[in-house]
């Protein structure tokens, strides 16, 4: 006997339409926090057979950071949500970081009813005006009928041209209004990025090819745009064709396998070293690829020095090109398409370069590192932490570094084996408290590999609430806390530039292992360098969340690869 199938209603509620539109764009995970204005949306998520997973977070900032980490490693749009008022203000740090890092995340903040505006309603604020300068695109919905069109616009804006963040304000009464089912459709290719690639102008490709044919010592400096575009293969082939060293920004780590003979490592004031800088300074042509040539990468526009080398600047955003350097050849295009076009234009041309220049620079750099990494001093040197992590982790592992102590050391000395997003940090604005939440998102984006978050104790204090999320969801994420009871980056700056006048940078000692244990996380506190390797081995092998609290040398006493402190 055939089962009777009930016909679908011709209309949906606004909340139901939002759920169906997210599903139609291929969304798999939503990170968020409940609130009064979100009740219709949550009810729709509870009732409908959408197949998406909702991850309850402990605040909206970390929901956005989770969406960011998910998007970085999955190649898909990250989605976060929260309620009105405080929920809208708390979600902002994650939005601005993702947007400035060219990472597509969609934030949906529910809102007070349209009919309640301008009546002193609790949690009322102008979400549109608040979010507009921080995102690539935003909208405030006034009618349920506009939901499908608005969601389609959001996904198109997030994943085309330069990817970025989008925000939608979803009022309470709009969630209950009618939406025609026939309007609920989507192009699922817009759920991944980059979704619609832009090819380079052949005229400028040929100009760049001519410049590279004449170059004696070309160098690539690659930013996050290469990884975002998935252009690693094209970059590697072109670099080998030209025998050109490949340096990267912090966000560009993964553009090339860092064990490759042409991989010079990270350059710039944060994670760069004199050895990598010397390779840039020797170049007669610099190709900035998917890189904004900002203050950190170029050490405040000194390396390369203006006028020192010819500049080919490749970026999908035309506003980036020429902003900081006089450009000889502008290439406005997707990195994958542009690098492939350059390789084709140079077909048959090969430069006999000297890869020993890179090898010698790396040998010198890692010899200095090795001497410190082998130290048995206590407090433990940060170099020892990096070395033990590198020994313990598989090449496929994902490492997320918070700003502060972890970032320069891991950027300089943690060797990414393979290409793609295996290491990242929040380099756009550098807010503390990012790595824990982003590692949760990264786990959901690539659950088959091990994810490790490395943070300072200042960062730990800003994200400890999400330890409960790790326990509740039984996530096999390992946290490493660099513990030294100081906002180390600022104290190091006071030492280098302000006569060691230390002011308001030190805080009390916390046993982070005991804090984590109170949440139910298996934890270790390590004060002896010889105990670090065994603790890491046990933590990485455990099937649930783990934390290692490492008592470390503070930054102002260490030899961090930060050029302004060395000078």
- DSSP labels for 213-240? HH-SSEEEEE-HHHHHHT-HHHHHHHHH
Q: At what angle do helices 356-373 and 406-413 cross, to 10 degrees?
A: 130
- Considering all CA atoms of the chain, what is the largest pairwise distance in Å, rounded to the nearest integer? 87
* pLDDT band per the 50, 70, 90 thresholds, residue 567: low
pLDDT, tens only, 245-276: 999 999 999 999 999 999 999 999 999 999 99
Report the SS3 class of residue 145: helix
Q: Parallel, antiparallel, or unpaired: how do β-strands 423-425 and 478-483 relate? A: unpaired
Cα separation, 454 vs 482, whole angstroms: 7
CB 259: neighbour CB atoms within 10 A? 12
pLDDT of residue 364: 97
pLDDT, tens only, 353-380: 787 999 999 999 999 999 999 999 999 9
Q: Is the dihedral of CA 393, 396, 400, 405 positive or negative?
A: positive
In the predicted structure, residue 3 carries a pLDDT above the cut 80:
no
Cα separation, 394 vs 519, whole angstroms: 28
In the predicted structure, residue 2 carries a pLDDT above the cut 60:
no
In the predicted structure, residue 289 carries a pLDDT above the cut 70:
yes
Q: What is the mean pLDDT of residues 322-328?
A: 97
Over the Cα atoms of the chain, what is R_g? 24
pLDDT, tens only, 135-165: 999 999 999 999 999 999 999 999 999 999 9
Q: Model pTM?
A: 0.97
Under CATH, which number does the domain 11-191 receive? 3.40.50.970
pLDDT of residue 4: 54
CA distance readout (Å), 276 to 232, 279, 302, 312, 412: 20, 5, 14, 20, 10
pLDDT, tens only, 446-463: 999 999 999 999 999 999
Cα separation, 262 vs 533, whole angstroms: 30
How would you class 176 by CB atoms within 10 Å of its CB: exposed for 0-12, middle for 13-18, buried for 19 or more?
middle
In the predicted structure, residue 41 carries a pLDDT above the cut 80:
yes
Cα separation, 322 vs 330, whole angstroms: 8
In the predicted structure, residue 201 carries a pLDDT above the cut 70:
yes
In the predicted structure, residue 190 carries a pLDDT above the cut 90:
yes
Mean pLDDT (the chain, rounded): 96
pLDDT, tens only, 57-101: 999 999 999 999 999 999 999 999 999 999 999 999 999 999 999
DSSP H or E segment with residue 540: helix 532-541
In the predicted structure, residue 565 carries a pLDDT above the cut 90:
no
In the predicted structure, residue 222 carries a pLDDT above the cut 80:
yes
Contacts of 10 (CB under 8 A, 6+ apart): 180, 181, 182
Q: Tell me, yes or no, if the two domains 11-191 and 374-566 fold the same way.
A: yes
Q: Is the dihedral of CA 159, 160, 163, 166 positive or negative?
A: negative
Cα separation, 136 vs 246, whole angstroms: 30
User: Token pair 């002896």 is at which residue?
Assistant: 528
Report the SS3 class of residue 118: coil
In the predicted structure, residue 30 carries a pLDDT above the cut 60:
yes
Pick the CATH number of 202-357 from 3.90.1150.10, 3.40.50.2300, 3.40.50.150, 3.40.50.1220: 3.40.50.1220
∠ CA 534-535-541, rounded to 5°: 90
| Cα 164 from chain centroid (whole Å) | 12
β-partners of residue 395 are: none
pLDDT, tens only, 528-548: 999 999 999 999 999 999 999
* Backbone dihedral region for residue 330 (phi beyond 0: left; psi -120 to 50: alpha; all else: beta): beta
Cα separation, 77 vs 189, whole angstroms: 11
**Alpha helices per DSSP H over 25-59:** 39-47
Cα separation, 58 vs 208, whole angstroms: 50
Pick the CATH number of 374-566 from 1.20.1050.10, 3.40.50.620, 3.40.50.970, 3.20.20.70: 3.40.50.970
* pLDDT band per the 50, 70, 90 thresholds, residue 9: confident
CA distance readout (Å), 260 to 217, 221, 416, 561: 18, 15, 10, 22
Domain residue limits, the chain: 11-191, 202-357, 374-566
| Cα 509 from chain centroid (whole Å) | 30
CB 530 within 8 A of CB 381: no
Q: Which tokens in the block code for residue 70? A: 């998910």
pLDDT of residue 353: 78
CB 456 within 8 A of CB 432: yes
pLDDT of residue 566: 77
> Among 1-15, 407-421, 469-483, whose mean pLDDT is lowest?
1-15
């Amino acid at each position: 006997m055939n089962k009777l199938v009930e016909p679908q209603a011709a209309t949906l509620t606004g909340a139901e339409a939002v759920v169906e539109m997210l599903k139609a764009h291929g969304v798999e995970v939503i990170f968020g926090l409940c609130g009064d204005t979100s009740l219709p949306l949550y009810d729709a998520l509870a009732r409908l057979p959408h197949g998406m997973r909702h991850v309850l977070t402990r605040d909206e900032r970390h929901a956005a950071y989770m969406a960011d980490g998910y998007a970085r490693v999955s190649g898909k749009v990250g989605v976060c949500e929260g309620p009105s008022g405080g929920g809208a203000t708390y979600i902002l740090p994650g939005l601005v970081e993702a947007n400035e890092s060219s990472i597509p995340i969609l934030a949906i903040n529910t809102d007070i009813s349209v009919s309640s505006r301008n009546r002193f309603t609790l949690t009322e604020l102008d979400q549109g005006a608040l979010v507009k300068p921080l995102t690539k695109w935003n909208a405030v919905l006034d009618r349920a009928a506009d939901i499908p069109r608005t969601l389609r616009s959001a996904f198109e804006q997030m994943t085309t041209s330069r990817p970025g963040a989008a925000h939608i304000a979803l009022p309470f009464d709009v969630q209950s209004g009618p939406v025609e089912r026939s309007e609920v459709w989507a192009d699922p290719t817009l759920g991944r990025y980059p979704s619609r690639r832009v090819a380079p102008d052949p005229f400028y490709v040929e100009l760049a090819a001519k410049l590279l044919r004449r170059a004696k010592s070309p160098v690539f400096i690659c930013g996050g745009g290469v990884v975002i575009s998935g252009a690693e293969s094209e970059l590697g082939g072109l670099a080998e064709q030209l025998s050109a060293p490949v340096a990267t920004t912090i966000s560009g780590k993964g553009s090339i396998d860092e064990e490759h003979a042409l991989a010079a490592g990270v350059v710039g004031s944060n994670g760069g070293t004199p050895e990598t800088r010397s390779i840039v300074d020797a170049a007669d042509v610099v190709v900035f690829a998917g890189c904004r040539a900002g203050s950190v990468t170029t050490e405040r526009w000194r390396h390369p020095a203006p006028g020192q080398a010819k500049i080919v600047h490749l970026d999908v955003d035309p506003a980036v090109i020429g902003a900081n350097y006089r450009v000889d050849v502008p290439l406005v295009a997707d990195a994958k398409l542009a690098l492939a076009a350059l390789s084709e234009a140079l077909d048959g041309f090969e430069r006999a370069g000297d890869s020993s220049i890179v090898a010698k620079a790396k040998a010198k750099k890692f010899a200095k590192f090795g001497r410190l990494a082998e130290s048995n001093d206590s407090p433990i040197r940060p170099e020892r932490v990096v070395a033990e992590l590198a020994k313990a982790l598989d090449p496929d592992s994902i490492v997320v570094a918070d700003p502060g102590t972890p970032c320069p050391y891991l950027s300089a000395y943690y060797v990414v084996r393979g290409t793609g997003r295996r290491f990242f940090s929040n380099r756009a604005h550098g807010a503390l408290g990012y790595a824990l939440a982003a590692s949760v998102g990264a786990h959901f984006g690539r659950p088959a590999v091990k994810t490790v978050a490395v943070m300072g104790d200042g960062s730990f204090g800003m994200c400890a609430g999400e330890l409960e999320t790790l326990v509740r969801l039984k996530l096999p994420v390992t946290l490493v806390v660099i513990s030294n009871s100081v906002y180390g980056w600022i104290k190091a700056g006071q030492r280098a530039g302000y006569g060691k006048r230390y002011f308001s940078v030190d805080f009390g000692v916390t046993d982070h292992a005991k804090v984590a244990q109170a949440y139910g996380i298996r934890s270790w506190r390590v004060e002896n360098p010889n105990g670090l390797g065994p603790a890491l081995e046990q933590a990485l092998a455990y099937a649930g969340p783990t934390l290692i609290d490492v008592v470390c040398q503070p930054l102002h006493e260490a030899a961090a690869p930060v050029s302004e402190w060395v000078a």
